[in-house]
Amino acid sequence: MENNKVKVILGVIGADCHAVGNKILNYAFTSAGFEVVNLGVLVPQEEFVNAAIETDAKAILVASLYGHGEIDCRGLRERCRESGLGDILLYVGGNLVVGKTDFTEVHKKFIEMGYDRVYEPGILPDQVVIDLKNDLGL
């Protein structure tokens, strides 16, 4: 079925198998009118990139819950640029680092890695939907 919905790639990165939040986000973005290409859990960086190329997606939404986010997420922007996806929107959220690190630091670190938006625990999906629509000019 062809439709004109904007496609977004969703997945839990790295060796992380937290599946519940992934389902909730899938539901939230689908209800908000996006076509969600959900890669599920345990997703390597390469698969996010390949999926975005093939489906012509406008944003990649990365989740990481198990605290190794920094290692897993580093290099995704470079990989996008290398693959011709350039400045595609990259969002990341979850428990990105272990322990009680100050979120402003975490935020800064991920922005420097090339992510457009970084979300701390407790943010509701609605907020992310609003941001995404704004960023895409919808």
Partner 1 sequence: MNHILLIDFGSTYTKITAVDIDNEIVLGTARGITTVETDIMNGLNQAIDALFLKTGKLKFSKVLGCSSAAGGLKMVAVGLVPELTAEAAKRAALGAGAKIMGVYGNELNEYEIQEIAQLQPEIILLAGGTNGGNKEVILHNARMLTTLGKDIPVIVAGNKSVAPQVVKTLLEAMTEVVHTENVMPKLNELNIEPARETIRSVFLRRIVEAKGLNKANQFVDDVVMPTPAAVLKAAELLSKGTEYEPGLGDLMVVDIGGATTDVYSIAKGDPTKTNVALRGLPEPFAKRTVEGDLGMRYSATALFKAAGAKRIADYANVSAEDVEAYVEKVEANIEYLPQNEIEKKVEIAMGKACTSLAVERHVGQLETIFTCFGSAFVQKGKDLSDVKTVVGTGGVIVHHEQPKEILKGAAYSESTPEMLKPECPKYLIDEEYIMASMGLLGEVYPDVAVRMMKKYIVRG
Query: Binding residue for partner 1 (CB under 8 A) from 2, 20, 100, 104?
Result: 2
Tell me which amino acid residue 127 is: Q
Residue 102 catalytic?
no
Whose Cβ is closer to partner 1: residue 87's or residue 112's?
87
By the rule CB under 8 A, 116 interacts with partner 1: no
DSSP one-letter string for 27-95: HHHHHTT-EEEE--SSB-HHHHHHHHHHHT-SEEEEEE-SSBHHHHHTTHHHHHHHTT-TT-EEEEEE-
Taking the C-alpha atoms of residue 10 and residue 51, their distance in angstroms, rounded to an integer, is 10
Sign of CA dihedral 80, 45, 67, 125: positive
Query: Binding residue for partner 1 (CB under 8 A) from 3, 99, 102, 137?
Result: 3
Sign of CA dihedral 96, 97, 100, 104: negative
Kindly name the residue from 18, 68, 107, 131 that is annotated as catalytic.
18
Which residues 32-91 are close enough to bind partner 1 by CB under 8 A? 35, 37, 40-42, 47, 50-51, 53-56, 66-67
Q: Is 21 annotated as a binding residue?
A: no
Residue 87 catalytic?
no
Please enumerate, by residue number, every residue annotated as part of a binding site for adenosylcob(III)alamin: 15-19, 95-99
- Could you list the active site residues? 16, 18
Site residues (vs partner 1, CB under 8 A): 1-4, 7, 15-17, 35, 37, 40-42, 47, 50-51, 53-56, 66-67
